[in-house]
Amino acid sequence: MTVATLGHAHVRARATTTEPGWVRAVIIAVSVVFIGLFVAVPLVAVFASALRDGLGAYLGAIVDPAALAALRLTLEAAAIAVPLNLVFGVAAAWAIARFRFPGRSLLITLIDLPLAVSPVIAGMVFVLLFGSRGLLGPWMAAHHLRVIFALPGIVLATTFVTFPFVARELIPLMESQGHEEEEAALVLGASPWQMFVRITLPKISWGLVYGVVLCTARALGEFGAVSVVSGHIRGSTETLPLHVETLYNEYAYGAAFAVASLLVLIALLGLVVRRLIAARIRRTT
Amino acid sequence: MTTAIAIDHVSKQFGSFAALHDVSLDIEAGSLVALLGPSGSGKTTLLRVISGLEQPDTGTIAIDGANHAAQSARQRNIGLVFQHYALFRHLDVFENVAFALRVRKRPKAEVEARVRELLQLVQLEGLGRRRVSELSGGQRQRIALARALAAQPRVLLLDEPFGALDAQVRAELRAWLRRLHDEIHVTTVFVTHDQDEAFEVADRVVVMNHGKIEQVGTPAEVFEKPANDFVMRFLGHVNVLETAEGRIYVRPHEVAIDRRPRDGAIAARVVRVTPLGGGLKVDLVAPTLASPVRADLDWERGAALALRDGDDVFLSLRRSRVFQAA
């Protein structure tokens, strides 16, 4: 096994060093130009457009009551969806990594569903379930419960779209770490809860933080699913991405890009945190 | 004699694989017992059933007279040293050893004193603040042992305790474990596939195969009086000779070589002479025997005979055994 791996690495190392110079130059150039055209230029354009009408107008668009309400709603939805997915992700990863049970492979497949299906469809599913003409609509109306066009719907849609992230981060981690330390803790007299808090949580902590960062970034930026269930009520059921779209449709380009730049800043912050955590995980394992 | 661990008709199945098949065994209090067998013989499963990490399908385990088959691992107060130690990587040495006391919410001063005492016992005082990753294999092994002993377990179990160490460290630790046991007298059961290890360390050896116990006895008993051909074959090299009287088993050191024929001796030819440890290993073929024969001679006898490849000699069997076909 070791010999085979070494041999493979050796072949690969030689292959990269014998690549002709012009091939390397072309590959690097293609990557750099592509990233430049599709990532760097749009990023700069967002900030340039946002600041087009001057810093005053930029700040004005951000402290606009509708924008602040959208920011607040976005954070609220994320603040409910992320902890839900944290609990679900740990439970699902635990079940899949530790136990063999009927339906295990189906569960693994279903965890990936939100990544495979278009978010719009996810939103429509919730409308079909909870909308006024939906399956549970009449019952909910009778009990004065509102899901669609209200915070619960936005939270549901956000939770659905973001639930794979924590679980997907933890499953391979927990599978590679094995179960021996947990068994040792039990034999040493720990209760299952003590075992989880003292052994399992510290073992998976960085993977967990990483998953939460990915999950949060997606929760803050989700558009499609939320768009379907929110109803776009300005100042009430609009999240930041929806507010950007509304402003854009109203030809308020400066304001649209100002609010968009806020989302970009959050995304960049998330990237930095991810890099830091990834480096930390590499060092501790 | 009091029985510390009573294993009564225990069976354990993994899917279609019978890991343990109706195993019964009494382990004497204060003894040091080796579970010896090839891989897949059920020895590790038996250890895990005693520890409570596995529940037997049928049968009972009683520790100190109380039936613990229904108790979970944490209620049994057993010390277990895992094959790869399973030390807590995110905790330092001190906290690893202290774990059993921390989860029992013992007072801080007691924990401090007990951990210091244990680190002294395993001769690793002063390493308390080290990270586990900074320890050598032998040190990790001793920390795993100290951790297992922290809550004063009624029984200490070790799974292949020397398996992951290099030969020299292994030999030192064997002798050390034996001395430690003589010092603290806790009933100890360890799993090994290495016959030398079992014989050197244990008071009693339990030879296992295919989920069953083949023989239980002192090292001398199982070596001198193997119960069946499996035990005979497993405990060192053996010549299996098909003769007119049936299949007979002869250890290499029980084969004598002479230059001149003796009564009942078999004519043979030397194929190869190899110096080996304290003597010579001689490979021979005999026209009347179907398979080659190995003989082990001490240096003196080897020097007196001065054997060379191709020499014609005579074999006699000082001792041989016949077993009923299994």
Residues of A in Cβ contact (< 8 Å) with B89? 181, 203
Residue A21 near chain B (CB below 8 Å)? no
pLDDT of residue B67: 67
CA of A160 to nearest chain B CA: how many angstroms apart?
33
pLDDT of residue A6: 43
Q: Residue A283: which pLDDT band, with cuts at 50, 70 and 90? A: low
Residues of A in Cβ contact (< 8 Å) with B150? 188
User: Tell me, what's the ipTM?
Assistant: 0.83
pLDDT of residue A8: 47
Q: Which residue has the higher pLDDT, B244 or A8?
A: B244
Residues of A in Cβ contact (< 8 Å) with B100? 188-189
Residue B164 near chain A (CB below 8 Å)? no
Mean pLDDT per block of 10 residues along chain B (326 residues) reads 90 92 94 94 94 91 73 79 93 95 94 94 90 91 93 92 81 87 92 92 95 95 92 91 84 92 89 88 90 92 89 90 72
8 Å CB contact between B317 and B238: no
Q: Do A190 and B84 touch (CB under 8 A)?
A: no
Q: Do B148 and A188 touch (CB under 8 A)?
A: yes
User: Which tens digits make up the pLDDT trace of A97-151?
Assistant: 988 899 999 999 999 999 899 999 989 988 888 888 888 888 888 888 888 888 8
Residue B151 near chain A (CB below 8 Å)? yes
Q: Which of A183, A188, A199 is closest, CB to CB, to B100?
A: A188
Angle (CA) A129 A132 A134, round 5°: 30
pLDDT of residue A206: 87
Distant-in-sequence contacts of B99-105, Cβ < 8 A, 24+ apart? B99/A185, B99/A188, B99/A190, B99/A198, B99/B147, B99/B150, B100/A188, B100/A189, B100/B147, B100/B150, B100/B151, B101/B150, B101/B151, B102/A198, B103/A185, B103/A188, B103/A189, B103/A190, B103/A191, B103/A194, B103/A198, B104/A189, B104/B151
pLDDT of residue A129: 87
- Lowest-confidence range among A167-176, A207-216, A273-282, B207-216? A273-282
CA of A189 to nearest chain B CA: how many angstroms apart?
4
Residue A189 near chain B (CB below 8 Å)? yes
pLDDT of residue B276: 84
Residues of A in Cβ contact (< 8 Å) with B52? 187
Q: Residue A17: which pLDDT band, with cuts at 50, 70 and 90? A: low
How many Å is the Cα radius of gyration of chain A?
Answer: 23
User: Which tens digits make up the pLDDT trace of A262-274?
Assistant: 899 988 888 898 8
Residue A26 near chain B (CB below 8 Å)? no
pLDDT of residue A181: 94
Q: Do B53 and A183 touch (CB under 8 A)?
A: yes
Decide: residue B194, CB within 10 A, 0-12 exposed, 13-18 middle, 19+ buried.
middle
Residue B282 near chain A (CB below 8 Å)? no
Residue A285 near chain B (CB below 8 Å)? no
Residues of B in Cβ contact (< 8 Å) with A191? 74, 103
pLDDT of residue B247: 86
Mutate to test the interface with B, among A187, A204, A285 (most CBs of B within 10 A): A187
* φ, ψ dihedrals at B19, nearest 5°: -75, -40
State percent of chain A over pLDDT 70. 92
pLDDT of residue B21: 94
Q: Can you tell me the mean pLDDT for A224-230?
A: 89
Q: Which of A181, A189, A199 is closest, CB to CB, to B74?
A: A189
Residue B190 near chain A (CB below 8 Å)? no
Cα torsion B266, B268, B273, B279 to 10°: value is: 10
The pLDDT of residue A2 is above 60: no
Q: Do B99 and A183 touch (CB under 8 A)?
A: no
pLDDT of residue A9: 45
